[in-house]
Structure formats: C-alpha cells, structure tokens
Structure 1
Amino acid sequence: MMRRRNIHFLLPILVLSFCTSYRVDAQVSVSPDHSAQDLAQRLGGSGVTIMNPSLNCPAIANGIFSVSASNLGIDSGIVLTSGRAASINGVGVNGYETGLASTNNHAAGDAQLSTLAGDNTQDACILEFDFIPSGDSIKFNYVFSSEEYVNSTCGPYNDVFAFFISGPNITGQQNMALVPGTTIPVTINSINSGVPGPNGDIANCLAMGPGSPFTQYFVNNAGGTTITHNGFTTVLKAVHEVTPCNTYHLKMAIADAGNALYDSGVFLEAGSLKANTPSIIAQGTATAVADTPFFVKGCSTGSFVISRPQATANPLTVKYLVGGTAINGTDYAAIADSVVIPANAISQQVVIHALPTVPSGAKTITLYIKSPYACNVNNQVVDSATLLMYDSVYIRILTPDTTICRFENLQLSLATGGPYQYAWTPDSSLDNGNAQNPVASPRVTTRYAVAAFWPGSGCPEMYDTVLVTVLPVPVIDAGSDIHGCIGSDVQLNVTVDPYDPGYSYSWNGPDSFSATIQDPVLHNVSEPNAGTYTVAVYVSNGCPAQTDSVRVQVAAPPPAPQLPAYFWMCRATVLDHRNDLGSELLWYSDAADTGGTHYIPLDDNTPDGVYTFYVSQDVEGCEGPKVKQNVSVRKCCEDNIFVPDAFTPNGDGKNDLFRISKGDDHMVTELRIYDRWGKAVFESYNTNAPWDGTYHGVPVELGTYYYYMVIHCRIGTDLYKKGTIELIR
C-alpha cells in the first residue's frame, strides 16, 4: 500500500544562492523547546530589527543547534521540524543516518501549507516575526533535509518547504526558496540525486522545470554520523529586495502532508538574517599580525574601501565614525566623516596619508560605517575595519664600535622600527646571520654590515655598520705529558704563536713551584714534583692571560736489564734481529757514552766476531743502570748454497741436471719448480734429488721456469729462496 508523502514548504522573502561541501564526522548538538524570541533573535543579524515574534510549534519540534564537526555545512543556528528536533533513542534530526526520523506530534497543520501541498497537512511548526531592514535587501542561509529522500525521490507527492514574506512592494506572500537562477521551488523532486526511488518516476522530477533535478545541490547522507535524515541540500542562500526602513513580515513554516510519518526539517544559520548594507575593508601594503593590513609612514599609504552590494544609477553617501589609537588630523591627514559612492559605481576609497610625527610606536585607524538607512536608529554601525600604521622605517646598531680580545664574543644589538628581516655580513663569525641581535665571534678585526628589509611594506632596505676591533692574543701550548725519572732534570716548555718578546709568563705547580720564564727547568725531581703545571701568558694590550697546563709524571729508574749470557746473530740477517732483545733497551758502545740507541748498533756488513756493549732499560724516558752484554756475529749456512740459473738436459753428460750445491750443515727440505703458467712440473721433499727437465718422463719445453725452495740449517733456522732458471737444449 502506497503511503501519502509529507509535503513541507518554507516560503521566504529571499531569492537563493548557495554553496556547499562538508565532512561527515563528529557531533551535532540540539537543544529543544525554545521561545519565539529566542529563535528569532538567534537567526537575526546585522541591519535587521526583529519585532513581534510568535511560535506555533510543538515544543519538541524546534530547537537551537551547534556543530563541532559535520557534513551539514552550518556550524550553529535554529532548526524547525515536522517531527522531533533533538534525537531520543535515534529518533530526531541529529544522530546516525541509520536512525529513523519519524514522529507524530498530533499537531495541527497549516492552511497555507495545505494549499501549496494540495493535501492536508499535520504537525506544522511555524515561526513568524516582523522585521525592519536597514538595507535594500535581506538574506539568510539554510539547509533543507528530509527522511523522504532516496526512497521517495521523484514520487507523486512532492515534499517541499516554504518561507512566506510580505510587506511593501511585495504582492501577496512570495515563496523565494528557489533553485538558484530559476523560479523552481526547492523541493525533494527539484534537488536530489537524480535517481528515482522505488515508488518514483523520473518524469515527476523533470516536471518541476527545466534543469530539474539539480543534483549539484544534493548531499546523499547514506552512512552519515551526525544528521539522521537520508539526504539534505547544500547550504543555500535566500535573498530578496526590500525597501529600507519599512516593516516586513516573515513566516517560516514546515509540516507533514498526507500523514504524520517520515519527517523533514530546515536548518537556519545563526545570525545570517541580514540586510545588505555597505561594507568596508582596510587595505595596506602588507598584512601584519592577526591579518591586520598595515602601511608605514614615509613608504606608502593605507586606505579603506567602502562598498555597497550592487551598483545603482544613484550615488550613495555613507557616513562613518573614526576611531583607533591614531589621531585624525595629527597622525595622518584629516579625513571627512563620510564618502560618496558615485552613481553606477560599487565602491569608493578613503586614502590615509601619514603625517611626520615623533616616533611613538604602531597605531591603529578604525572606521565604523553607519547604515545609509538609519531607520530612526542613531549611529547604527553595520561594519568596521582597522588599519595599522607603523612609524617611519629606521634601523640603528646600538652597539658602538667596540674593541675585544681574540676568542671573546660580542652581542650585537639592533634597534628597528618594524618587523624587519635581516641579513648581516660577513656572517661566518656570527651565530645567526639573519637574527636581529646576533652574537659575533670574530678572530680578526671585522666591520659588520646589516641590511634590514620589510617585505611588502614598500619601504627600501635600510643599512648600518659597526666596527669590531680584535686585539691579538697568542695561542699557547704547554705540550704533552712529560715523564721524568727521580733525580733527573725535567724541562718545561710553552710554545707561543705568534711570539712576542713583550709577553710575560707565570708558571705554578706542585710542591710550591713557580717560575716567571718561558721554559723553566725542574732540577733533581722527586715524587713531590709530580702533578699538573699551569702556565699563564700575559699580553700587554689588556686582554686576559692565556693559560695551558701539562702533567709531569715522576718515576723511579727501572732496574738493570736481565739479558741472556750468550746472544748471537747470523751475519747476513743482523738488521732483522737487532731488536730481538726488546725495543725498551738502550745500547751503548762504551760505558761512558750518553747517546744510546734502541737497537743493537750492528748491520749486515758487520764481520764475524764478538762485540761488547753496555745496555740499560728506558721506561718512558726514565733510564736505569747499564750492564755489559756480548753479542756474537756468525757466518750462517746460507753462505754455502749455490743455485744455478740455467741447465741443458740434452743427454750429452754436461750440465744435464738442475742441482743445488750445498754444504754439509744444511739440507733442502722442499723444492718446487713451475712453468710459466704456474703448473708444478717438479716437486721434491727432504731430498737433494735433482731435476732432469722432464714432467712424468716427458721432456718439457725450452724456456724459463721458476723455483721455490726451503733449506733447513743444522743450527735450527730455515731459509726460503725463489728465483728463475733457464732450460736450454
């Protein structure tokens, strides 16, 4: 059985224009049951005086709403419904789309709505009031929503809402809730998805008028989390011309048609019922903090632009009040208290010319425009704008030319007359070359220059400089840790760069040590002399002394070295073994020598024999007593080995074999011979077998071959030899 469809009309004094696009998430809060005064005043905005409000609506069907986040498109306002405003158990306008907005309030309908619907109406909710506009048109924003959407789209019963407006120069009551740019009323069949519902026929939507259905103004709320209705319009704007200062009547009404099921609603934006009065904006060379336009004395001018909603054939005089912290006629050239927008023009400009004054900081200029249609209300302000005026630009480095010592820092301080950007040069010795007050750390005398510029101000760059003279101070180094031996002298030394004979020195250290020369000596040191020695180098230019320190370690002499009674080396390998007894030893040729070496002072050309030396231990610069040590140099077995460099295995009995000649004190433990491709053609281990020039009994090719051999000497050492041989036939 097909049910009757609810028809909702809301007929305003407004021709509509609209815009949309919104998120679906978060919450819509609705507070129900408000008075006519509350609802009307919440809707009213600037340029409109509301009077005599009345409400004929069930308490649960009206409400005031606010949005924290939603796809509705309006953040707050009033809502009128044919059912329940605030949802309870999922029934109402706010909540999940899966809920059902269908409530029978058992309230009466409305005769005007019944005529529009062509059917009986029920559950009417009607807000009415008189108003006086102070402009030549009014407007407000709204969203129409319905549970009838989707399933009943393009159905035989056309849900619609209406605003009724009446008054001077309006014939009867007019419905101005129209699809933008058309005379088609906003209904379910004129604004929808374009897809008919199960009981719908696209012909019903097409019959609404050319272009219908207007899908671009529809929001499909499937899966929505904040509005219960299946669909709603985008935010629409209703606008209508009126005669300023006359009384008009506005009736906002919505009702169910046919039966009391499946509700609809209209959301109206708070404060959006406004008269179209003149507006004002401030214009500067740039925008300052909190989006306030500004200009700068001596660089540019500021201005205010006063506009009316649309150009007409008549000029329009707009009066304004002048406020702000700047004084009209003192801080800027005097301006009048009104401006005339010429005929056929939409705006006029008020230019602000700053006057030279003693710098006193930024000041504001605010113009409060009054409605040209005062409607017996004195000084009715309809809009305002503020312009920020800065003092003339200037910069000044407050830091005077300054002398500092090398390695010292200096805070540079800059006074300015605006929010500049900065560029210091050179910036290599600054902590931040773009800061207003950087820290300078020059190592040489430097003149710093700063360029300050104010983006968008129209002002030229400003410059200033400061000279920082750097007095030289030396870089000093007391050296690495010193190791001393008890009873010895320890030399302290400090290097100074650059050197100046005018420097003075002060050393201090353990055991009450002090000295005033550059390189003092600690004589006959003992354990109390161990510790840290600090030197201060004083310069004559008044800069602080430069200091460094060195640690002196004092140790007892090491004992005499424990050496083998008999030590010998092969004559040919002396250089390889003269450190065998340890590199911490000092070797002397005579007991009275003072210049020892950390190796045995012999080489490979030393003849055979026994050599006598005197040896001590040297531990970190501390030398112990000397002991006598004999070192024997011998001729070892490698001197008796002969390896031929060629042989002729041709069977003539002469030089047919590659044979190694050796003495009786050694033997060949390994011999390998390779051809030029690295292939082993002969191997012999622990024998003195010669090579006959064959491989597996077959003569090898003529050419160069390579040998590697290991020779073991009777005295216990191994020799390793390699070389080439030529095989000739």
Structure 2
Amino acid sequence: MKRIFFIINFFFIAQITFAQLETIPIPDQEILELLSGTEVNFSNTQLSYFEGGGSQQIGQFNGLNSNLGLDSGIVLATHFIGQIAGNQYGLQLDPIVGVDSDLSLMLNEFSFPNNLKGVVSIEFDFVPSTDELNFNYVYGSNEYSSSTCSSFPDPFGIFISGPGISGPYSNGAENIALVPDPINPAYFTTTPVLVNSINAGESTLVNSSTFGCDAVDPNWQNYTDFYVPNSVPNPSVSLEGFTVPLQATKSGLVPCESYHIKFVVAVGPNSNSQDGAALFIEANAFANINTFGNTSTTVVNESNIFSYFSSDSPFQDKIYEGCGDATITFYRPDLAVGDITFLFRPQNEIGNATIGEDYSLAGNNVVNGFGYSSILLPAEDDQTQLIITPYYDYVNEPDETIYISIDQINIGCIQIDPDTIIFSLSDQPELNVSFNEDFSIYCPGSDVILEPNVSGGVGGFMSGSFSSDAYDYSWSQIGTAAIQIENPIETTEYCVTVMDICETQEKSDCIKVTVPEYDELQADLFSKIICEDIEADLCVINAEGGEGNYSYVWSNGQSGPCNYDYQGEYDVVVSDGCEKEIILFGEIYYDKPPEPSFEYLSIPHQNLGVEFYNYTDDSPGLSYRWSFDDGIYSDHSNPIHVFQQAGDYDVSLTVITALGQCEEDFQDYVTIDPNYSFFVPNAFSPNNDGLNDVFRTFTTGVKKFELFLFDSFGKMVFSSSNVEDSWDGTYDGKPAPQGIYVYQVVMVKDSDIVVFNEQGAFTLIR
C-alpha cells in the first residue's frame, strides 16, 4: 500500500510542476518589442506566413509552467501556435507549400529533397553596439516519433548577414543555429540543429534506416544530451520532442554597422495538420545589441587639487598656480572605433586666463591652431587626457578663469554632445609655520610634544581624510610626522621644515627645550650581620644626586630607606622624582657559630696535667676562648693545662665567629684526682746490709700497674703487678750478676683511661 501511495503522490507532484505552455497571438510590432524592448529600432522588418496562417503562426509564449526551459519570448510555428499549447489544439491547419531559398540550400547540402511546407519567418536589419550577438532558443518538432533519420526532415535556420560575414546562404549569410560541442558546449560544431542531428539517438523509421541522420552528421548519436523527449501524459508542450535551451552566437560583428537576421521554420512535403515544428526565441534577445542617439558622458575634468578636497568642498574645482596639472579626460564611447579627434577652444575672450601666459595645454597629439585646438584618441586606447599646467608666477593677483569649450562630434552612429569646462585659477595662499615660545622640562627624558603651528598654502583648505597629507614635515633628524614626541636628556633645539601639498612653498622654524642637569644618583647598602635569628634592619645610606625626593622599593614589598626582616638576600630600587633609579643588593646575614664540644685526658707524665681535645666543626676565621675555672684562660684550639691542685673544675669553651664576633659556649666539669708520683732509684746493692738491698718503684695515684725488669741482653728477670713489690737481685733462685738493667712500667692513672709507661736503666752493684 505504501508503494502505491508513493507513486500516486509522484504523479501528483509532476502535474503541479508542469502545467501548460501558453501561446498568444499579438500584433507584429509587439512581437519585435519582445525581442529587445521599446528602445530598440529595427529596420527593414519582414514577417512571412503561408496563406491561411497569418498572425496565428507567430506570437508570444509563456513557458513558466512548462518543461520548455524558457520563461517567455516569441514563437514561430508551421501551424497554428495554439496547437503547441499542451493538448489544446484549437483550430488545426494543414500547411501549404512554401519557399525559402536558404532552407532549400541547407537541404541540398545533405542531398535531401528541398520541397517545403508551412514556411514562417521573421527578418529585419539591426545595428549592433558590440562585436558579439548571443541569445537562447528552443527548437521542437512532431517528427521525432516517426521520422527521425528520414530524408524529409523539418528544416529551420537562423541566418545572419552583414559586414565581415561570408557564408553559403543569401547575401553571404551564415546559419548560427548550430549543434554545440558535446565535450565543451561553449563551442559549436558546424552541424545545423535539425530533427536528424539532435534526437534520442536512434532511428524511428519503419526500416530503422539511419541514412538521413548520418548524412547530416556521422556523430549525431553523440548529441542526445541536447534532446528532451516529451512522451509524457498530458504534456505541457504539444510537440513530440524539442531541444534543451541552446545558444545562437555570432562574434566579430562591427559595431555601428548594419546587419540582417532571419528566423525561419518549415516542415517537409509530407506534413499535415498533425505534424509541425516550432522555434521559441527567448525574450529580450536583442536588448543589449542596439544603441542609438547622443552621449554626453565622454568628458570628465579634474582640477589639479581635485583629490585633496571632499566632493562638497568649495575649493574642489579650483586650479592653483604651481600645484601640479589639471586634466580633462576624453573617453571612448562604447560604439566608437578607430581614431577620434576631439576639437576644443580655449576661449580667452570669456575666461581672463590666457593660454601661454597663465597656463599651457598638452596631451596626445595636441594641435593648437588659430581659434581651435584638437586632441587625438588613438584607435587602440579607451581614453586620452588633455593636461592643463598652470604657471606659478609669484604675483599676487585676483582669481582668473580658464574657459575651454568642446565641440560636438559625430562618429558613425554616435554623436558626442558639446561640453564646456571652466576652471577658476587662483594664487596659492601664503604658507605660515611657527612654534610657541621655548620651554623647559623638570626631568630629563620626560615626554615633549613638538607641534608647529601651520596654516596657509593650499593644504590649509583641506579637511577630512585624504590620500595625501596637507603638508609634508621634515624634522631635523627625528622624523616626518606632523607631531613629534621626544624625550630629551639634554637641552636641545628642534627644527622643522614644512612643505605645502603643492610642493612650491616651504617654511622652517625652531624651538628650544631646556633640560636640567642633575648629579648622578648614588647610594650605599651594606649587609647586616646578626648573631640571633631575629628581625633586623637593612638600611640604604648615603643617598645623593638625582632630583631628590627619593623613594625605595624593596624586593620583599617594603618601602622606605630601611627594610625590617629576617635573614636573607634583598635588593632595593632607589629612584628619584624623575624616575631615575639604581638597584642595590644587600643581605641580612645570620652569622651562627657552630656548636662547641670538647673532651679531655690527663697527661701521663704530668701530675695534675690535662690535655683538652676540641671537637667543634671547623669554620673559616673561627676563634676560641677557654676558661679553666682557676683564673687561667687560653685561646688555643686544643690547649694543655696543668692544674695547681686536685679537684672539680667548671671548664668552658667559647667559639667566636670572624664576621660578627658571634659566640657560642660549651661547659663541662673536669675532675683532677690526687697527685700522681713515680720514682725509681738508679742503683741498688743486694748485700743484706740493710741499705738498698732491693729494687722497687715508688708510685702513687695509679689504678693499674705492671713492672718489667730486663738484663742487658733483653731477658726479663722480674715482673710484678703490685706496686709494692720489689726485686731482690736474684734470678731463678741465684744471684743475678752485677751490671746494668732496664725497667719498664705500664700504668693507668686513677682518674684516667690512658695507658702509659715509664722506662729507664739502673745498676745492680755487688
């Protein structure tokens, strides 16, 4: 059901899209007006019908609601035009035998019989304004279904003749109804448009012969894209087929010359009232081809200052002495060809400016004769200019008038109206340039706006925006702008030269700008050393020079000469009232000493002696101060100190930094034990006399004791770990020989951990 519904809708839309072609018989003059409008004048017009056809064969058509492809225009038919308006045939007419020599010649080219019926034509003369003719048309016929490729095709043609055309038809005419090139439709073949050249690509004869088509063009089957088959129910155009809109064109026409054109349609000798052919020509086909009458827009004048002023300026049409050239431009009319000579007269009797005294004329082949002058517009150019050069005579005088009349010129079909050009010739106003008084500035480098007072000259009349400036400025080494912004750092004189837009007047002036001289801005910023991690002040000192009125901006955002903050590096921008600035760098330095520490040991051989070991981290320039709690001090790093008596002492070590003399202390209690003593006799005599009979050491203040005795050969003869023990001079129960012996004592003091020894020699005497 959906498919059926879709098909019904499709045909419904088709019925709406193409309704009926409308044809209307109209008077002959209206037919011609449809070709180009009422402003076109045709001549030698001829409309030809066959007997009984008359005005029913030529008329107006409206194709907006049809599939014809043309909206409107005129139609020529070999039968009544009403018979091609859809299926509304109305009166029917059998065409009768007719004659057209050009169609007969065309048929003869292909060896076809040249008998004709129903001949209808329109022909007339026209004068083109351009070198090319173009218009659109459609050709249709009722022969397509039964006579395609027959030897009796319906012929038609569009024949044009005139200057530069040399064709095979009457009066050298050419047929411009030609089949387009199927590859590039902007170009054309030499094949005429016929049923046998543009069709569906197959013969419709009973015997399917293609002889008639092949005779016209062997490539006829390549032209099917230009054919519209009209085999639909209820057609909007009652023709079996027709062409797409085609273009008839002819280039190389000579403007302003007369040409003849003929539109002619006919049918073959076997045609009846049901057969027929028609030619549809689009409306306004000749709308832009003919121009007659006068032209007055070929001369345009511009003063020598035309571009300097707006269109409503009262000065726009004036000429100023010495301000360049004024021009009168002569333009070629559209229809005119070849050289054109314009005649003009400088009329000194009307204008009081005299040629040769107040101005001169020049241009392309300008000839200054007695009373009349002329200028040539060569054939290859579209325009030429008459140059008016006013003299600058440096004489102050009233305005004068340049009066030039241009004569009427007739060029073929073109008439150029006369014209009059009037210029007012004036002196240039005097140019004036000046500055206000010299001035001074407070700060070097401040902005200085330099703007001279300029008036007069032709530039003084200018206002608004123009492609050229009213004045040219040339400053001494600083630029060419009208207003200069400078930043002098020393007293300077500025000079400007101003030239008027006419480049014949220039004036100069100077202005002096005084700049004060200040001493160089200077200041000091020294680093601050602190011994505690607290806020401190870092201050700028000795600020001098510059303008004064100093301001300070620190890197931590503070302002003022001093910055209060913790340890760190800082910079400060010091500036004066003229924004001259310097940058200083400083530091709040925390000179923290290292943590001191020490240890101590008793001196083995020194009673009450102590050696101190400093374990403080080393730093460059670090110094030390020792206090031994007995009134004695030392600045050594690792001092040795001998106390006077045993006891407990509060010993302190102070470390001192080099930069800030910052101090850090360390204290420890040192215990000094009772006296250590050691004595050894240098000889003994074991003879039992009660005197020096044994060898022993006399030692006190030790907690560890080892005694070793050796003979002169190194053999140990005695040892003991008791401080009270002694040697009686025997070895292995026998008296040791007299001689020298060596002792070695290994000990540790009571208040120490260091192992030390005492050694020496003694003599055994017998």
Q: TM-score normalised by the shorter chain: which range applies?
A: 0.3 to 0.5
Which structure has the bigger radius of gyration?
Answer: 2
Question: Normalising by the residue count of structure 2, what TM-score does the alignment of the two structures yield?
Answer: 0.33
The structure whose RCO (Cα within 8 Å, separation 6+) is larger is 1
